[in-house]
Amino acid sequence: MLEVKNISFSINQNRLFQNLSFNLSKGQAIHVKGSNGSGKSSLLRILLGISSASKGEVIWDEEIGKVFLGHKNVLKNHLSVADNLHLHGLDVAHPEVRSILKDLNLDQKAELLVGNLSYGQQKKLALVRIFLNQSSVIILDEPCVGLDDQTRRLITTFLTTELGKNKSIIYTSHIPLELPSSEVIIGIL
């Protein structure tokens, strides 16, 4: 599904990582670990094709759908929760959407402006888009930041279910998620 061959990345002569190689197959989760500023987010951006590696190759199987949640939540502050979901092609009245909103305690907030939600609530809302996406690869950059224990457990349950559907996951997190044994850890120093 994904083959990463000897990639290196530097910013302004500062080498973040070098000769990193790994593969991602169906139903597998990769946890990218590392200290702050070690290049975890940069690695994800390279895998997504947003940034380019200084050296090496990233090869995806053709036609692989990817969904990504990074540090930016892809939400419009001046729009309501329902309008933001609409922008992502989700109808707040749909039973599946309603059920997830309820799990995330956002079901009563559909008409509220996103700008009036707390950071954690915004992060939860951003997760709705990820939870309902049909892409084969889920890429998350620090998905647990600002979230309560209940939501963290919900993310773990969701990701475990998605792995069971043969989807693949790559995530960075300082808080490890308890995903099935297929987890591979790549440490970036």
Partner 1 sequence: MFDLFKLELFKLRKKLRAWLGPILVFLLITISFPLTVELASDDLKNVFYSILWIASLLTVMVSVEGIFLEDYEDGTLENFSVANDSLFSMVLIKIFIYWLLIGIPISLLGTFFSVSMTGEMSSFYIALPSMLISTYIFINLFALGNSLSLNKGSVLGALITMPLLFPILILLGKIVLNANFGFEISNLLLLMLGVLLLIIVFIPFIISFIIRTHLE
Q: Which is nearer to partner 1, 51 or 160 (CB)?
A: 51
Q: How far is the CB of 84 from partner 1 (least distance, A)?
A: 10
Q: How far is the CB of 148 from partner 1 (least distance, A)?
A: 23
- If one counts every other C-beta atom within 10 angstroms of the C-beta of residue 37, the result is 11
Q: How long is the chain?
A: 189
Nearest to 154 by CA among 143, 165, 164: 143
Give the Cα separation of 10 and 42 in Å (integer): 10
Q: How far is the CB of 55 from partner 1 (least distance, A)?
A: 16
Structural contact between residues 128 and 85, judged by C-beta atoms closer than 8 angstroms: yes
Q: Which of residues 29-48 bind partner 1 (CB under 8 A)?
A: 48
Which x/- pattern, by CB under 8 A, does the window 41-80 give for partner 1? -------xxxxx------------xxxx-xxxxxxxxxx-
- Residue 87 near partner 1 by CB under 8 A: yes
Q: Which is nearer to partner 1, 37 or 49 (CB)?
A: 49
Backbone angles phi, psi at 180, to 5 degrees: -55, 170
SS3 10: strand
Distances (CA, A) of 125 to 80, 88, 100: 11, 11, 10
Q: How far is the CB of 49 from partner 1 (least distance, A)?
A: 7
CA 79 to chain centre: 23
Q: Which is nearer to partner 1, 58 or 67 (CB)?
A: 67
Site for partner 1 (CB under 8 A): how many residues? Answer: 23
Which residues make up the interface to partner 1 (CB under 8 A)? 48-52, 65-68, 70-79, 83, 86-87, 89
